[in-house]
C-alpha cells in the first residue's frame, strides 16, 4: 500500500529550500483545525489543542486504512496566526496572538470520516479539546514563502523584510493570515536547527 505524504505530494509547499521570500502557488487543501488565543509557550489551551489534533489525525489515519484501504503519513503541525496589529509578530508580543492550529488531510478523506474519527477519539481519550476539532478548507493561492532555520523567536527580521520591503518592492499586499508549517519536532531538535516554513498569502496591491 502506497502511503500518501503531503510533504512529498506538495514539495513546493512543504519542502522549500529558499531562505528569503519567493512566490509560490498553494492549492486548496483540507485540514482539521482548532482555534485559540494567547502565547503558545504558556497557554494550556494551545497544548490541549495540539494534543487533540494529533489524537484525531491518527484516528483518521487508522480509520482510512481500515475503511478505505488507503494510508497516509500524518502531516506536520501547522498554524495560522493573526492579530488586529500585525506588528506584534515582529515584536513577538505573543499574548496578543490569535491562532488556528492545523494538520493537513488528504483530499480523499471524506468529511463524514473526520466527524466519526473525532467522536471515536473523544470516546477513547476523554480530552475536552477534541470536541473543538473541526474540518477546515483553505485555498491560499499566490503566497510569499521561505524556509526559516533557527529558533521561532528569530523569525522577526524575516517578517520585517516581508512587511517593510518585499511587499512594496513587488507591489503586493497581504491577504489572509500568516501561516507557519513546523517541519521539526521542538522536543527533539535543537533551537538552532528548527526548520519552519513561513508563508503569507498575497495579491497585487493595485
Q: What are the residue ranges spanned by the domains of the chain?
A: 3-204
Tens digit of pLDDT for each residue in 124-136?
Answer: 988 889 999 999 9
Sort residue 133 into left (φ over 0), alpha (ψ -120 to 50) or beta.
beta
Confidence check: pLDDT of 93 > 90: no
Enter the pTM of the model.
Answer: 0.94
Confidence check: pLDDT of 164 > 90: yes
Alpha-carbon distances of 14 from 126, 151, 181, 202, rounded to whole Å: 32, 18, 8, 18
Which residues are within 8 A (CB) of 7 and not within 5 positions of it... i.e. 6 or more apart? 14, 15, 73, 75, 76, 183
Q: Which CATH architecture has domain 3-204?
A: Alpha-Beta Barrel (3.20)
Confidence check: pLDDT of 38 > 70: yes
pLDDT interval class at 1 (50, 70, 90): low
Amino acid at each position: 500500500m502506497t502511503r500518501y505524504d503531503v510533504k512529498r505530494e506538495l514539495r513546493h509547499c512543504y519542502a522549500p529550500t529558499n531562505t528569503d521570500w519567493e512566490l509560490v502557488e498553494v492549492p486548496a487543501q483540507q485540514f482539521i483545525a482548532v482555534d485559540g488565543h494567547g502565547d503558545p509557550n504558556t497557554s494550556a489551551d494551545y497544548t490541549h489543542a495540539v494534543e487533540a489534533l494529533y489524537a484525531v489525525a491518527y484516528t483518521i489515519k487508522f480509520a482510512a486504512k481500515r475503511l478505505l484501504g488507503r494510508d497516509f503519513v500524518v502531516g506536520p503541525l501547522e498554524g495560522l496566526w493573526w492579530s488586529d496589529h500585525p506588528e506584534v509578530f515582529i515584536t513577538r508580543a505573543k499574548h496578543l496572538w490569535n491562532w488556528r492550529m492545523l494538520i493537513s488531510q488528504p483530499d480523499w478523506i471524506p468529511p463524514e470520516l473526520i466527524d466519526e474519527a473525532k467522536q471515536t477519539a473523544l470516546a477513547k481519550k476523554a480530552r475536552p479539546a477534541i470536541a473543538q476539532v473541526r474540518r477546515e478548507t483553505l485555498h491560499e493561492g499566490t503566497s510569499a514563502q521561505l524556509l526559516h532555520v533557527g529558533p521561532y523567536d528569530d523569525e522577526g527580521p524575516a517578517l520585517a523584510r516581508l512587511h517593510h520591503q518585499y511587499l512594496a518592492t513587488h507591489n503586493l499586499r497581504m491577504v489572509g493570515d500568516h501561516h507557519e508549517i513546523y517541519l521539526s519536532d521542538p522536543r527533539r531538535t535543537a533551537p538552532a536547527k528548527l526548520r519552519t516554513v513561513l508563508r503569507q498569502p498575497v495579491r497585487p496591491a493595485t
